[in-house]
Every structure is written in structure tokens, then in C-alpha cells.
DNA sequence: TCTAACGTTAAAGGTAACTTCAAGGTCAAG
DNA sequence: CTTGACCTTGAAGTTACCTTTAACGTTAGA
């Protein structure tokens, strides 16, 4: 199948598919005599795997090292290892998010709970002091959380562009 | 106080402080006759606020629009609005992470639960089919989740560099 | 035969939040 | 008067994941 067909099947853009090939992520591709790429049906499967893995928080780099050339022969140990680590990353992230959320909720309450006899400036000072009281000792999260975040991000941002820049025509 | 002193007080790098000034985030800065920046003690407070807000998932852009020039006079409505939205973002993200985690856990189990009489290739096929069965209809997360992710990310990645590139000396 | 749709490439652009670099100027101490 | 610590600037580099652009070749159908 040609690249357009593969794009239709997988819902990816042709540019993305070519990009994956360029970075060595998608190797099941041949060329016809005219230079056109041609893919086996399996390619759609592989692209599906890539997208799924990405959604689970893997970087394309991680995916590349994990994806075997032959879908029948995975490196089970490496795979399990990566999966386990990724789960731990998610858990750390969940903890961090819970903290952030709690912090924000506290802040909201704090702002609303202004004593009736206090003016805005004084209230601002009070809230401000409370906000900055947070010892910030709780930021020690592993960089793997970061990877996960990074990954999850881009993929979604494509889905709906609210901050699209308008280029002058 | 000079920039180095401010950097020491806040734990930020001087480049970061200059950067914040460049993008219009930190305006409380004057110049001495020699061109050196000079800051009021309040600057440390503002930088503290910026870092805190960033940790809570706000982009520098968001922070800029929310930060008043006078710390005594906040736009309470805009602030509450932003806080509420950010909390919602976090909740959406938590849901997504929970899903991702569940997905990964299912996968791990699935890999390990290979029937004794099944060979690796067949197992691979079985697992693969299961993985790709996920309808992927559950990706509809708002782009705000994305922002949050993006923000949370960078900040952390600075904290510990595991993938630091070694530059030839 | 023309046209529209499809394919090709390399290179550059975009995002967010910075850092790094080159090429200096300033200042206090010894 | 030199050394070293500190300050300045604008521009370019970094990361991950793509998209866009320009300039061009191929093919199927009317």
C-alpha cells in the first residue's frame, strides 16, 4: 500500500509517517521503481502500536529501542522493565498532581475566606504569605515523570488547536 | 540588590531572571549608572510567586496576564477563574493518567499470563491484539490538560539531568 | 492531453522555557 | 596593574515531535 492509504488507515498524516521512518521508528517500507514508498499491511499495526505506546507516555526514543523489527520477537525483559518504570512514573506524577491540586484548592479557599473587616490589600498580603509559605521541598520528582509529561503533551496539543497562530497571508 | 544576589536568594539562575524580564514577567528592575540591573527586595517575592505558579501548572504566559504590577491589587475574578480552570485541568489529567496506568497494568498482566502451552510468537500475537483492541476513543482531553503537562514538565527536567549531553571539551 | 491528486526531497519553522556563547565592560582586592 | 568575580548584550542552541514549504516527478481519469 502507498503512504496515503496507510495514512488513511491509521489516521496519521503522511508527514508524520515519513518522520517516523526518518528517525528509524518505522522500518517496514520498500520503494517502488518510481520512488514511491510501499508498505505491507503490517505497517498499520506497527503505527497503531506506536501511537498507543505514545499515549501511554513513552517517548519515540523509548519506543524505538523497545520495538523489535519482528513483531513476533519482543525483548520481554526490556519491555516489562520499561512498562514497570512507566507505571512508577505515572504514580509519581499522580502524587504530584494531587499535591498541586490540593495546593490550588487551599489557595482558592484562602482567597475567598477574607475576614469581613479586612481590606483587599491586607488580604492580598495574607494570601500571598500563605502561598509562599509552601516549603517547596516537595519538588523532588524523577525526570521520568517529566518524560511522561512531555510525551503526553504534544500528542494532545495536536488534537485541538486553541492557541493557533494566524500567519499573515 | 544586583542580579547575582537575587539569584542566590531565589535559587534561580541569572539567565532565567533576565529571561523573565525579557518576556515582560518581571518588571521591578532598575538600572544603575553602570548598566547593572538593580532590584528591590520585593523582586524575590515576585520570583517566588512565579515559581510557585509554575509548579501549579501555569504557563509563563498565563502568569504574566495574572500577575498585577502591584502585588497589593490583584484581579480577583480573573485569578479565581484561572485557578478554577487549572483545577479542572488537573482533574482531567488525573483521569487520563488513571486510564494510562490501568492500560499499562493490564498489559503487564497480559504479558505475564501466557498459557504454558503457548509459544512466544503466539503469545506476542495474543498480547498485541489485546493492546490494539483499545478503542482509543478515550483520548478526548482538553488542550488545557496539555498546557498543564507542558508546564509541569520543563520545570522538573531542570532539577535532575539524567540525559545530559556531554559536550566535548 | 490536461488536470487533479498523489508522491518525492531537504531544509526550515514552530512551541515553551530556558541555556549557552561570544565578546565584551565594571569593580574590589592584593 | 592585574586578577577574578561580577555584570552587560544579542543571537543562537536545546528538546521532542512534528509541520510546512518549495520545488519537483508520477499517475489516473475525463
Find, in chain A, the residue whose alpha carbon is nearest to that of B143: A157
Å: B157 CA to D18 C1': 21
Residue B146 corresponds to which cell in the numbers above? 496539555
For B81-99, b where at least 16 C-beta lie within 10 A, e where not — what string? ebbeebbebbebbbebbeb
Q: Is the CB of B35 under 7 A from strand C?
A: yes
Q: Is the CB of A52 under 7 A from strand D?
A: no
Q: Which A residues 32-51 touch B at CB under 8 Å?
A: 45, 48-49, 51
pLDDT digits 0-9 by tens, B40-63: 999 999 999 999 999 898 999 999
Q: Is A135 exposed, middle or buried (0-12, 13-18, 19+ CB in 10 A)?
A: exposed
Subunit contact B49:A153, Cβ cutoff 8 A: no
List chain B domain ranges: 3-66, 76-158
Chain A residues whose CB is inside 8 A of the B161 CB are: 143
Q: Is the CB of A4 under 7 A from strand C?
A: yes
Q: pLDDT at position A117, please? A: 79
Q: Is the CB of A3 under 7 A from strand C?
A: yes
Cβ(A29)–Cβ(A39) below 8 Å: yes
* Whole-number percent of chain B with pLDDT over 70: 79
Task: Give mean pLDDT, residues A151-163.
Answer: 29
| CA–C1' nearest nucleotide, residue B167 | C20
Find, in chain B, the residue whose alpha carbon is nearest to that of A72: B121
Q: pLDDT at position A127, please? A: 86
B102 and A CB contact within 8 Å? no
Classify residue A35 as left (phi > 0), alpha (psi -120 to 50) or beta.
left
Answer whether residue A147 shows pLDDT above 70. no
Residue at shortest CA–C1' distance from C20: B15
* Whole-number percent of chain A with pLDDT over 90: 57
**Lowest-pLDDT range of A101-110, B70-79, B83-92, B123-132:** B123-132
Q: Is the CB of A159 under 7 A from strand D?
A: no
pLDDT digits 0-9 by tens, B99-137: 999 999 999 999 988 777 778 778 788 888 877 776 544
Nearest to A57 by CA among B120, B98, B113: B98
A103 and B CB contact within 8 Å? yes
Answer whether residue A54 shows pLDDT above 60. yes
For chain B, the first-to-last Cα distance in angstroms comes to 35
**Lowest-pLDDT range of B23-27, B89-93, B110-114:** B110-114
**Cα(B5)–Cα(B41) distance, integer angstroms:** 10
Answer whether residue A18 shows pLDDT above 80. yes
Answer whether residue A17 shows pLDDT above 80. yes
B82 and A CB contact within 8 Å? no
Closest Cα in chain A, distance from residue B79 (Å): 9
Classify residue A2 as left (phi > 0), alpha (psi -120 to 50) or beta.
beta
Chain A residues whose CB is inside 8 A of the B47 CB are: none
Q: pLDDT at position A145, please? A: 40
**Cα(B152)–Cα(B59) distance, integer angstroms:** 9
Q: Which fold has domain B3-66?
A: Multidrug-efflux Transporter Regulator; Chain: A; Domain 2 (1.10.1660)
Answer whether residue B148 shows pLDDT above 60. no
Nearest to B98 by CA among A167, A144, A146, A152: A152
Subunit contact A150:B146, Cβ cutoff 8 A: no
**Lowest-pLDDT range of A39-43, A80-84, A129-133:** A129-133
Q: Name which residue leads in pLDDT, A162 or A96.
A: A96
Nucleotides, chain D, CB distance < 7 Å: 6-9, 14-21, 26-27
Q: pLDDT at position B63, please? A: 95
Q: pLDDT at position B132, please? A: 75
Q: For residue A20, what are the CA distances in angstroms to A46, A69, B10?
A: 11, 14, 42
pLDDT digits 0-9 by tens, A87-111: 999 998 999 999 999 999 999 999 9
Mutate to test the interface with A, among B50, B107, B110 (most CBs of A within 10 A): B107
* Whole-number percent of chain A with pLDDT over 70: 79
Q: pLDDT at position B67, please? A: 95
Amino acid at each position: 500500500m502507498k503512504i496515503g492509504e496507510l495514512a488513511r488507515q491509521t489516521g496519521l498524516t503522511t508527514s508524520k509517517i515519513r518522520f517516523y521512518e526518518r528517525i528509524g521508528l518505522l522500518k517496514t517500507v520498500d520503494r517502488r521503481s518510481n520512488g514511491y514508498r510501499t508498505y505491507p499491511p503490517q505497517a498499520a499495526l506497527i503505527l497503531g502500536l506506536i501511537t498507543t505506546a505514545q499515549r501511554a507516555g513513552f517517548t519515540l526514543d523509548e519506543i524505538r529501542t523497545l520495538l523489535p523489527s519482528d513483531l513476533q520477537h519482543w525483548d520481554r525483559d526490556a519491555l516489562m522493565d520499561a512498562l514497570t518504570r512507566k507505571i512508577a512514573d505515572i504514580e509519581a506524577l499522580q502524587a504530584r498532581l494531587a499535591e498541586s491540586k490540593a495546593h490550588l484548592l487551599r489557595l482558592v479557599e484562602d482567597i475567598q475566606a477574607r475576614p469581613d473587616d479586612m481590606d483587599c490589600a491586607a488580604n492580598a498580603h495574607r494570601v500571598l504569605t500563605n502561598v509562599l509559605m509552601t516549603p517547596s521541598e516537595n519538588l523532588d520528582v524523577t525526570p521520568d515523570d517529566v518524560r511522561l509529561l512531555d510525551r503526553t503533551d504534544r500528542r494532545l496539543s495536536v488534537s485541538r488547536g486553541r492557541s493557533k497562530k494566524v500567519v499573515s497571508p
